[in-house]
Structure 1
Amino acid sequence: MGTGRPNHTRRCGERRISVVGIRKAIARQMVRSVSTIPQFTEFAVFDATNLLAARQRQKQNGRSLTPLPYFIVALVKAVRAFPLMNSSWDEARDEIVVKQAINLGIAVNTSQGLLVPVLRGADQLDLSAIADQSARLIEGARAGTLKPGEMSGGTITITNVGASGPVETGTPIISPPECCVVAFGAIKPRPMVIDGEVVARSGAWISISVDHRIVDGALATEFLTALVGELEHLHA
Structure 2
Amino acid sequence: MMTHLLCSLALALAAEPGGDLSAHWPLYQDCLDASGNRHHGANRGVTFENGWAVFDGRSSHVEVAPDSIPMGTNDFTLSAWIQTDDQGTDVPGDILGKFDPTTRRGFNLLVQNFAGVTSSQSNWGNVLFGIDWGSEPIWTDRGLPGNAAWVAALTVFQGSLFAGTYEPGPEGRGEVYRFLGGGDWEDCGNPDGSNSVLSLAVYQGRLHAGTGRYRPGGSALPDSPNQTPGGHVFRYEG
TM-score, reference length from structure 1: 0.25
Structure with greater strand percent? 2
Q: Scaled by the length of structure 2, what TM-score is found? A: 0.25
Structure with a larger share of its residues in helix: 1
